[in-house]
Amino acid sequence: MKIAVVGTGYVGLVTGTCFAETGNVVNCVDVNKAKIDQLKKGKCPIYEPGLDVLLQRNIKEKRILFTTDLKAAIDKSDIIFLALPTPPGEDGSADLKYILNVAEDLSEIIKEYKVIVNKSTVPVGTAEKVAEVLGRKLAPELFDVVSNPEFLREGIAVDDFLKPDRVVIGTSSDRARDVMNELYQPFVRQGNPIYFMDERSSEMTKYVANSYLAMRISYMNEVANLCELTGANVDLVRIGIGSDSRIGKRFLFPGIGYGGSCFPKDVLALHHTSKQNKYDFKLLDTVMKVNKNQKKVLFGKIKRFYKNSLKGKKFAMWGLAFKPETDDIRDAPALELINEILNAGAEVTVFDPEAMANVKAIFGNKIKYARDQYTGLKEADALLIVTEWSEFRNPDFERMVKNLKSKVVFDGRNVYSLEKMEELGFYYNSIGRKIVNGKN
Ligand code: UDX
């Protein structure tokens, strides 16, 4: 099939590449010429495991093409995916200006029937708004607008796209439904479903899924905080509840708050939709408050340990990205923690396998950047674990001991067992578990 993807951000690139991978011809459009030039050469602007290989292969096979010319891409395509940013405005509402501007451009370009698909996360009613803009210049039989939310996790986005748990398609047009059904068949061959529904329910599904997961995490973060006060171990409680099939094992890991480009934005946007509809969605309000608080938990532990006197202390930080396998630092707990450390007059040397450049762009020479995870520990008063990258899970403990000034670890992701830390003689303060070799 012939596809155009407008917007070569994270979602657009994964979408375009994966559609090309299943044999379609995909024209990707972006206004950023520098980015398009890089992409033409097969240079992937984001770190996403597996994406660069697929991208290069499909460029070679001429199944994926890049251009800044919207009209040329649209003329060659039957299905147009809009993968444009929807940044939160001051009040939390998703800003639709990029989508609606492109819709207006499309209304000038389209001459024959096209299916226009909203891939961006957009509030309820957006498909109708896009259709309204298109309909100002186009006859109704020339287009259909479909909602098709993505459920991609950064770090495993290619796999999530190629083998989705489900595909959600919101459309009230039989013609568009048939087109979308054909397009997605290669992705559901394992038997996973395509759910067809109306546009509004589809738009709502995306926000509700992400907000539910954010709520689950916030719930577990509160449980962890209570475990610390009661002497229970949140790891055991997590396993204890997760084996109930009604609850399930996944997304129950406490930590130092959720971040990234989706959860914070989507919870806020759904909360805004509630307000617009004069509904007081109390749970969402609490989810956001709990998350804000949880981002401060690790620093609170550090402050208590040093009795509020952090001036001149040196910290080593492992992990900056909001989660492993990505270089994304949007809303990452590390950023707030670094600021708090600096404001308290302490120093920090950071290490992350992928996110160092992004952090450097924000903090510059206010902090130090380690060559590898061990050199960062040199002369540090304590190690802070902020992202659970696999390489932090089983480190060379001897080197850790040798490099650190004192054997102190604050772990925001519970990567080590209490027994191991006890045996190694570390003061070890993690989330929702007793403090090892120290007082609770
Ligand atoms: C999320 C959704 O999972 C995905 O379906 C949607 O399309 C986009 O948003 P992503 O933001 O890539 O994906 O990351 P995800 O793996 O879901 O993690 C989100 C945040 O929750 C991270 O900050 C992570 O550290 C945190 N998290 C996740 C926890 O604190 N505990 C958990 O058990 C799981």
Tell me the pLDDT tens digit for each residue of 359-372. Answer: 999 999 999 999 99
Contact 317, 348 (CB under 8 A): yes
Here the CATH number for the domain that contains residue 286 is: 1.10.1040.10
289 & 301 share domain: no
Kindly tell me if the per-residue pLDDT of 328 is higher than 80: yes
Here the CATH number for the domain that contains residue 51 is: 3.40.50.720
Q: Choose the final residue of a domain: 174, 197, 220.
A: 197
The percent of residues in the chain predicted with pLDDT above 90, rounded, is: 95
Which atom of ligand 1 sits closest to the CA of residue 387?
25
350 & 282 share domain: no
180 & 33 share domain: yes
Kindly tell me if the per-residue pLDDT of 281 is higher than 90: yes
Query: How many Å lie between the centroid of ligand 1 and the Cα of residue 191?
Result: 25
b/e per residue, 379-413, with b = 16+ CB within 10 A?
Answer: ebbbbbbbbbbeebeebeeeebeebbeebbbbbbb
Evaluate whether residue 22 is within a structural domain: yes
Question: What is the per-residue pLDDT across 411-430, written as a single tens digit (0 to 9) for each?
Answer: 999 999 999 999 999 999 99
State if residue 251 touches ligand 1 by the CB under 6 angstroms criterion: yes
Q: Choose the final residue of a domain: 266, 293, 320.
A: 293
Q: Choose the final residue of a domain: 165, 197, 229.
A: 197
Question: DSSP secondary-structure letter at 88?
Answer: B
State if residue 10 touches ligand 1 by the CB under 6 angstroms criterion: no
Question: DSSP secondary-structure letter at 155?
Answer: T
283 & 303 share domain: no
124 & 164 share domain: yes
Evaluate whether residue 316 is within a structural domain: yes
Kindly tell me if the per-residue pLDDT of 163 is higher than 90: yes
**What is the pLDDT confidence band of residue 440, given thresholds at 50, 70 and 90?**
low
Evaluate whether residue 436 is within a structural domain: no
State if residue 145 touches ligand 1 by the CB under 6 angstroms criterion: no
State if residue 255 touches ligand 1 by the CB under 6 angstroms criterion: yes
Query: How many Å lie between the centroid of ligand 1 and the Cα of residue 258?
Result: 7
Evaluate whether residue 425 is within a structural domain: yes
Which atom of ligand 1 sits closest to the CA of residue 259?
23
> What is the ipTM metric for this complex?
0.94
306 & 276 share domain: no
Evaluate whether residue 414 is within a structural domain: yes
Query: How many Å lie between the centroid of ligand 1 and the Cα of residue 210?
Result: 8
Contact 108, 137 (CB under 8 A): yes
Domain containing 345: what range?
295-429
Question: What is the per-residue pLDDT across 67-106, written as a single tens digit (0 to 9) for each?
Answer: 999 999 999 999 999 999 998 888 878 899 999 999 999 9
Q: Average pLDDT for residues 10-26, to the nearest whole number?
A: 97
Evaluate whether residue 437 is within a structural domain: no
417 & 312 share domain: yes
Q: Average pLDDT for residues 277-285, to the nearest whole number?
A: 98
Residue with tokens 């398609």: 169
Number of domains in the chain: 3
193 & 240 share domain: no
